[in-house]
């Protein structure tokens, strides 16, 4: 009975340090199921190489010249949509891990990881699974859940405000006084204060500063 040959996973390595690229290539060279088909030293080159090769796995540093790793991730959907990304970075930063996870990476690994760990992570990502250190994935997932809950609270608060109250809240956030808001909207100051009172009640605050702070926290207005 004939045994079908398994196609090696196509890999592209992106790092602005040639030595790091060489180390990853060396690690992959002893793995018959991995094949390094391309490399790049900056973000723009990475996009071009991936567009041409359409690799299974992109091994990507986040800190790159010309276009950083997050810009590469943003553009990969069009350049090489089936490619899955393993971030290999020297950035031991929880926020960077969270941002990478939110950007859709399939794995996140430190450059201090062993060669065998890097190879196994590439395999895992290439096979359609995720490769995150437990602590990193847990912290990032918790943060994502917190943001989702905050967004739900923000949507609920926004829905409770009337259209005019939303308008007044945005003008408060821009720094306008009641007199200026009244002039802008063509209503009396007393009416403005009535709307402000409604905003306070629905956001659970007592002052304009608190209202703006809460609105920013819930994503109802942009921080200025």
Domain residue spans in the chain? 9-140, 161-217
Q: What is the pLDDT of residue 103?
A: 80
Nearest one of 95, 93, 92, 96 to 68, comparing CA atoms: 96
Q: What is the pLDDT of residue 123?
A: 92
d(CA 81, CA 15): 20
Q: Positive or negative, the Cα torsion across 119, 124, 130, 135?
A: negative
Domain 161-217, CATH: 1.10.10.10
Please state, for a pLDDT cut of 90, what percent of the chain lies above it: 31
Q: What is the pLDDT of residue 4?
A: 47
9-140 and 161-217 have identical folds: no
Q: What is the pLDDT of residue 212?
A: 86
**Domain 9-140: what homologous superfamily?**
Response regulator (3.40.50.2300)
Residues of the chain with pLDDT under 70: 1-5, 92-94, 134-154, 222-224
Cα distances (Å, whole numbers) of residue 7 to 35, 56, 123, 127, 211: 9, 11, 13, 12, 59
Q: What is the pLDDT of residue 30?
A: 85
For residue 72, give every residue at least 6 positions away whose Cβ sits within 8 Å of its Cβ, in sequence order, or none.
14, 43, 46, 47, 58, 60, 64
């Amino acid at each position: 009975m004939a045994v079908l040959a398994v196609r090696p996973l196509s890999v592209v390595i992106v790092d602005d340090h040639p030595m790091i690229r060489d180390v990853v290539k060396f690690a992959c060279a002893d793995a018959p199921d991995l094949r390094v088909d391309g490399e790049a030293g900056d973000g723009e080159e990475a996009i071009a190489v991936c567009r041409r090769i359409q690799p299974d796995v992109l091994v990507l540093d986040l800190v790159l010249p010309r276009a950083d790793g997050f810009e590469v991730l943003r553009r990969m959907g069009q350049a090489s949509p089936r490619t899955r990304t393993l971030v290999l970075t020297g950035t031991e930063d929880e926020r960077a891990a969270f941002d990478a996870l939110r950007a859709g990476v399939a794995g996140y690994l430190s450059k201090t990881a062993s060669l065998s760990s890097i190879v196994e992570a590439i395999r895992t990502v290439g096979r359609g699974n995720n490769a995150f250190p437990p602590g990193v994935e847990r912290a990032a997932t918790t943060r994502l859940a917190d943001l989702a809950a905050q967004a739900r609270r923000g949507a609920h608060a926004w829905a409770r405000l009337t259209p005019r109250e939303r308008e007044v809240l945005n003008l408060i956030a821009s720094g306008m006084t009641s007199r200026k808001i009244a002039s802008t909207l063509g209503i009396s100051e007393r009416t403005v204060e009535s709307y402000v009172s409604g905003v306070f009640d629905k956001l659970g605050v007592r002052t304009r500063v608190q209202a703006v702070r809460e609105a920013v926290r819930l994503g109802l207005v942009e921080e200025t």
